[in-house]
Chain A
Amino acid sequence: MSKALLQVKPEEVRRQTRRSFLIAGVAAAAGAGLWEWLNH
């Protein structure tokens, strides 16, 4: 994997983090749904 660097604003880092947490939350909710379905 390349070690190339990117220059971004600090806001962009925070935005990416929020976005990733949102995706993680949706994935966790989907996982919880699957768990409920499995135990139904």
Chain B
Amino acid sequence: MDDTRQHDDYDPSVPETASPEALRPPIESERYPLETKSVKQSLDATIPAGQKGEMVTIEYKHSIATRWMHWINFPLLFLMIYSGILIYWADSQHEGFHAHQVYRIGIGNWTIFRFFPRWFYNTFHLKFQLAQGLAYHFFFMWFFALNGFAYVGYTLVSGEWRNLVPTKDSLKGAVDVVFHDLGLSKGPLPEQKFNHAQRIAYTGVVLMGAASLLTGLAIYKPSQLHVLTSLFGGYEMARWFHFCLTLLYVVFFVVHIAQVIRAGWNNSRAMITGYQVSINSKQKETSDEQSSLAS
């Protein structure tokens, strides 16, 4: 009955025009209905006019896939580094009894720092656990690799790579970011999801992951994968690359944590909930509070 009535109401002489509601761009809760369901429910609730000033503006920053893969990668990378050190200790001339050279920083016979000093192994109880280190490393490496492949695949399919891959302006932009973060430049940075320094760092760490995988395979199966091992300059060079990449992960981690702390809770919360309270909204909140205090 209802269908018939609608059909009868149709007048071909009246030009069809889309309603303003149909023409408006989809809002976030419509683009990502599953991930924003609870927020949408909240929006659907009637908000009394007197409470509208209490609203804050939030923006969707990190998808649920990105967040899960980010947090899964954290313990995996930790375990890979930990187990790698267990293996490394047993394979180093300094602490163990193997023929491999211990990596160090120095000039000639003068050593500034040795990877790693005795106190390091003793403090963290890293000695005499080669079998356990190998077991952990060869077990978790598959999950580390799978998570990495999943992340790269996701960024390609979702188009998120456009926010992450450096552009031709990234090198200069990264220098601007460093000056800005060190307080040497007061000018505002261009507004974008990831600044140029982040683009370089986040793309770089993915490439490091790929390099770790390849150098790891080169020293895991140097006979079967001898072509790969040769490409890295032989077993010892592949091992050296693998070790240096580990140190770079640690450097990345330290800088990353420092920047997360510096950026504040609103930024880091986005990697947990997916949403970030809009900066303009926060400024407005502050401004409103100051106005009310002044009045």
Contact = CB atoms under 8 A, between A and B. Distances in A.
A22 B155 CA distance: 27
Given A4-B60, A6-B275, A9-B56, 17 more contacts: A1-B63, A2-B26, A2-B60, A3-B59, A4-B27, A4-B31, A6-B36, A6-B43, A7-B58, A8-B42, A8-B56, A10-B56, A12-B39, A13-B273, A17-B269, A20-B273, A21-B272
B71 interface: yes
Contact of A7 (B36, B38, B55): B55
A27 interface: yes
B272 A13 contact: no
Interface residues of B, number: 36
Interface in B87-143: 139
B54 interface: yes
15 contacts: A1-B193, A3-B59, A4-B25, A4-B26, A4-B28, A4-B59, A7-B43, A7-B55, A8-B55, A9-B55, A13-B56, A13-B275, A17-B269, A17-B272, A21-B272
Contacts of A20: 272-274
Of the four ranges (under 10, 10 to 19, 20 to 34, 35 or more), the interface on chain A belongs to: 20 to 34
B163 A1 contact: yes
A16 B54 contact: no
Interface string B269-288: 10011110110000000000
Interface of B: 25-29, 31, 36, 38-39, 42-43, 47, 51, 54-60, 63, 71, 75, 139, 158-160, 163, 193, 269, 272-275, 277-278
Contacts of B269: 17
Contacts of A19: 38, 273
A3 B54 CA distance: 22
B26 to A, nearest CB: 8
Contact of B42 (A5, A12, A21, A38): A12
Nearest to A17: B273
